Amino acid sequence: MDEHPAHESVHASPGRRVATSVGLVVLIASAVVGSNLFGVRDSLFGSATPEPADVAASRVASKGASTATTAPTRTRLRSQPWWQQVTTLEGAGPTTAAPFTIDDGALQWRVKWTCQTGHLLVSAQGPHPVVDGVCPGGKEGFGNKTGPVRVKVTADGPWKLQVEQQVDVPLMEPPFPEMTAPGAAVLSKGSFYKIDQNATGTALVYRLADGSHVLRLEDFFVSPNSELEVRLSALKAPKSTEEYAAAPSELVTRLDVTTGALNFRIPAGVDPTRFGSVVIWCQLVHSAYGAATLGPAQ
Amino acid sequence: MSAAPAVSPPIAGPRLRIGGRSIPLVLPKLGDPRLKLSATIITLTILGQTILNFQVSLPQILVCVLLCAAIDVVMTYRSAKVLVWPASGIQTGISVAFIFRVGGTRHGDFWSMRGLHIFVLVVLLSMVPKYVLRRNGRHVFNPSNVGLAWGLLLIGPSHVFSEHLWWKPLGPAVLFSMAVIFGGGWWVLRQVKMLPMAATFLAAFFVFIAALAVTGHTYWATWHEGKVGGSFYWLTIAMSPELLIFVFFMISDPQTSPKSQMGRNIYAAVTAAVAAGLIGLQNTEFGIKVAILSSLLVSCALVPLFDKAVRRVEDRRAGAEVEPWLSGPVGRQLAIAVRKPVVVAITVIAVAGFINTALLAGNDQIPLIERNLTGRSVQ
């Protein structure tokens, strides 16, 4: 396609004209794809980030229609999938329970069940029962239908169903009321840095009016995995898994949500002032993912 | 930097006999600046594989170099019936492999086959315009530049990226690499008389980036905790090894730059201004690197204007009749232009390259990728 006077392209051979036209169409199409207008590039090749979704505001789905997402913020960030409480159903004998709602973005849902006598059968508009168990007993059953779900329970005695949905949106918990009440104060804080994986955000240790402590993680993200733990380390700034593992540490909590703003009560008997850093530890692969050096709160 | 494969068959010299036919061979000359350029980039590639932690594998490099070379050999033979050492194609392949990265390739995976098809695509995006989009017998766009810019925009930040602006913390490895870049740049540019053009670009670019740094511009990068801002913003963009390679070895392509020194200086200043303008929109390293590459698409497309501007100045100085900007009414000129597929294609590449790069600034996914918040390692 050398640049020639206009009449040359007009009088080019039919094959050349077709090839030129096809070439121009391909070029323009690639320009449109490259613009990613209407997400065309992401649709064709896939995206590293999902579509924006509402964050979750609580570990408990909102009352009434139990959608997972009540906070107005939307984000492309995602967490390690975690279980959010939807509702608890109880009864004795057969019944059709009031419907509950599984959020459209939920990955799946489960029923943690217990029963006293006979047999328990729980169906949810699907070909297979969610629960088919012998009583007394208790276990889990799973479903994947989203939207309104009405379960039909066939039982010989008392039963209890705890419904949870698995979501991967960030959890943005507001501080506990006690953290903003008179007498509460931020004792120490620090920013997360990565060790073996990515970790960002801020760790804040609160002392409450009753003398207990709460650890709050804000703007928090850690590379997702299961079996993550939040631990307090005696080290001020551990730089490696080996360095961290060689020093004393205390478990604060297991970390099921890996993105968002989270509150954790520090176990009684653990004095956070004796520790220098907060470490995200993965028990599964024995790796320190990231840490935050605790310093005085300004 | 590459040269047009315009070769006349040598009367004397080495020949290769294939199937009863004697084909003239044109072997590389030691003085060829493209060999010097290749030597510089190969040295940097070796440093990248050893001490600079480049995330590229040997098969990825070989695919780029061999495919570019093969295309060059075939196309040159087709037009001139001569087998020419593909110095230009090799240079394009090395440049693509030096800068282009497929997400998920780790440093040290020397034999990784990851994303070879993507490298093939970028090679084609480099070589097809070289042979298809030509103006006055010369290719319009620097082959590796158009392939890299178009490839990064087309495939997108979720899958590909270009080598980082700042390779490592300032230390012996980076300083040695900078010495290789500056030494190689001097070695090559002095011969092709492009040092003033490079100096013009750098002077303008330094000022523009300083203005952006002073006015609070920042960017996210995978290799930096928090946003890059202030003096480090200026340092990591204006003195980036990638930027220096772009200046010394990409915009200095004699085939795609203006012919006169004045034209080259205008071209360099315009490239710097377009690059800085696009960089000013970006808040991610990905966006900044594509902005730098895309700026050359715009200025290469404008080279005839730079040449004409210089001719008009020279005509005016000589007291001769000044060549008009257009040889007829605007509407008629446009009607003629749109009937030329090559003009349409050049315009699409330059305009879409510019617009699509600007659109990266509004892509809310890229900051998450740069901050490693996607849950998987993209870069």
Cα angle, residue B105 at apex, residues B101 and B110 outer, rounded to 5° = 105
CB–CB of A41 and B156 under 8 A?
yes
pLDDT at B30: 81
For B375, nearest residue in chain A (alpha carbons) = A223
Question: pLDDT band at B12, cuts 50/70/90?
Answer: low
Residue that has been written with the tokens 């309104």 in this structure: A148
- Smallest Cα distance from A20 to chain B, Å: 7
Look over chain B and give the mean of its residue pLDDT values, rounded to a whole number: 92
Question: pLDDT band at B7, cuts 50/70/90?
Answer: low
Predicted TM-score of the model (pTM): 0.87
Instruction: Give the E-state strand segments of B117-218 in sequence order.
Output: 134-135, 138-139, 160-162
Q: Cβ distance A78 to A121 under 8 Å?
A: no
pLDDT at A6: 42
Residue that has been written with the tokens 């620097």 in this structure: B142
Torsion angle (degrees, nearest 10) of CA B299, B304, B308, B309: -10
The closest CB to that of B374, out of A23, A33, A49, belongs to A49
pLDDT at B29: 83
Question: pLDDT band at B195, cuts 50/70/90?
Answer: very high
For chain A (length 298 residues), average pLDDT per consecutive 10?
46 84 96 95 93 93 50 84 96 89 95 94 89 92 92 93 96 96 96 95 97 97 96 98 97 97 97 97 96 93
pLDDT at B38: 87
pLDDT at B338: 83
The closest CB to that of B225, out of A1, A77, A193, belongs to A193
Question: pLDDT band at B9, cuts 50/70/90?
Answer: low
Residue A81: Cβ-neighbour burial (10 angstroms; 0-12, 13-18, 19+): middle
- Facing residues of A115 across strands? A137, A159
Q: How far apart are CA B275 and CA B258, in angstroms?
A: 18
pLDDT at A215: 98
Cβ neighbours around A174 below 10 Å, total:
12
**Which CATH code of 2.40.160, 3.30.70, 1.20.1740, 1.10.3430 fits the domain covering B15-370?**
1.10.3430
CB–CB of B133 and A1 under 8 A?
yes
Would you call A158 helix, strand, or coil by DSSP?
strand
Q: What is the mean pLDDT of residues B333-339?
A: 84
Interface membership of B343 toward A (CB under 8 Å):
yes
Question: pLDDT band at B3, cuts 50/70/90?
Answer: very low
pLDDT at B8: 55
Q: How far apart are CA B269 and CA B263, in angstroms?
A: 10
For A194, nearest residue in chain B (alpha carbons) = B225
Closest CA relative to residue A250, chosen from A221, A279, A227: A279
The closest CB to that of B158, out of A10, A48, A200, belongs to A48
Residue predicted with more confidence, A10 or B282: B282
* Residue B59 predicted with pLDDT over 90: yes
Domains in chain A and their CATH numbers? 54-167 (2.60.120), 173-296 (2.60.40)
Residue that has been written with the tokens 């205008």 in this structure: B266
Residue that has been written with the tokens 């808040």 in this structure: B283
Cβ neighbours around A252 below 10 Å, total:
23
